[in-house]
Chain A
Amino acid sequence: MDFANISALAYLISGVLFILALRGLSSPETSRKGNLYGMIGMAIAIGVTILSLLGKGDLDPVTIVIILCGIAVGGIAGMTIAQKVSMTSMPQLVAAFHSLVGLAACMVAIGALYAPQAFGIDDGAGGIKTQSLIELSLGVAIGAITFTGSVIAFAKLNGNMSGAPIILPARHLINIALGVAVVALIVTLIVTHGLATWAFWGIFVIALVLGITLIVPIGGADMPVVVSMLNSYSGWAAAALGFTLENIALIITGALVGSSGAILSYIMCKGMNRNFFSVIMGGFGGDTAAAGSGAVETRPVKQGSADDAAFIMKNASKVIIVPGYGMAVAQAQHALREMADKLKEEGVEVKYAIHPVAGRMPGHMNVLLAEANVPYDEVFELEDINSEFATADVAFVIGANDVTNPAAKTDPTSAIFGMPILEVEKARTILFIKRGMSAGYAGVENELFFKDNTMMLFGDAKKMVEGIVKGL
Chain B
Amino acid sequence: MEAVDPTIFRLAIFVLAIFVGYYVVWSVTPALHTPLMAVTNAISSVIIVGALIAAAAHAEGAGIGVWISKGAGGLASALAAVNIFGGFMVTRRMLAMYKKKEKKVEGK
A interface residues with partner B (beta carbon < 8 Å) = 11, 14-15, 18-19, 21-23, 25-28, 31-32, 34-35, 38-39, 41-42, 45-46, 49-50, 53, 58-60, 62-63, 66-67, 69-79, 81-83, 85, 87, 90, 93-94, 97-98, 100-101, 103-105, 107-108, 110-112, 114-115, 117-119, 131, 227-228, 231, 234-235, 238-239, 241-261, 263-264, 267, 354, 356, 361-364, 366-367, 370-371, 373, 375-379, 381
Contact = CB atoms under 8 A, between A and B. Distances in A.
Contacts of B30: 267, 354, 356, 362-363, 366, 381
Contacts of A53: 52-53, 56
Nearest to A34: B39
Contacts of A227: 37
29 contacts: A18-B43, A22-B24, A25-B32, A35-B92, A38-B91, A42-B45, A49-B49, A58-B58, A66-B55, A67-B55, A67-B77, A73-B78, A78-B84, A78-B86, A97-B87, A100-B79, A101-B83, A105-B47, A107-B72, A107-B73, A107-B79, A111-B73, A112-B69, A131-B7, A227-B37, A231-B41, A239-B14, A261-B40, A370-B31
A25 B95 CA distance: 9
B6 A246 contact: yes
Contacts of A63: 55-56, 70
Contacts of A381: 30-31
Given A28-B31, A107-B79, 20 more contacts: A18-B46, A27-B29, A28-B95, A32-B96, A62-B70, A67-B52, A67-B77, A70-B81, A71-B81, A82-B89, A85-B90, A107-B75, A114-B72, A117-B58, A248-B13, A254-B44, A264-B33, A363-B32, A373-B99, A375-B100
A126 B7 CA distance: 22
A78 B38 contact: no
Interface in B1-48: 6-7, 10-11, 13-15, 17-18, 20-22, 24-48
A200 to B, nearest CB: 11
Given A94-B41, A256-B21, A107 B32 contact: no
Interface size class of B (residues with CB under 8 A): 35 or more
Contacts of A363: 30-37
Contacts of A248: 10, 13
Chief secondary structure at chain B's binding surface: helix
A78 B89 contact: yes
B35 A31 contact: yes
B43 A256 contact: yes
Contacts of B49: 11, 45-46, 49, 245, 247, 249-250
B41 A366 contact: no
A97 B33 contact: no
A358 B61 CA distance: 57
A22 B21 contact: yes
A28 B95 CA distance: 7
A53 to B, nearest CB: 5
Contacts of B68: 110-111, 114-115
Nearest to A41: B43
B104 interface: no
Contact of A235 (B40, B42, B57): B40
Nearest to A243: B10
Contact of B101 (A27, A75, A244, A377): A377
A258 B44 CA distance: 9
B44 A361 contact: no
B50 to A, nearest CB: 4
A45 B25 CA distance: 22
Contacts of B90: 81-82, 85, 90, 93
Contact of A103 (B46, B73, B79, B85): B79
B32 A78 contact: no
Given A19-B24, A238-B44, A370 B99 contact: yes
B97 to A, nearest CB: 4
B51 A111 contact: yes
Contact of A78 (B20, B36, B81): B81
B52 to A, nearest CB: 5
A31 B32 contact: yes
A179 B63 CA distance: 33
A381 B32 CA distance: 12
Contacts of A246: 6, 10
Contact of A67 (B37, B42, B56): B56
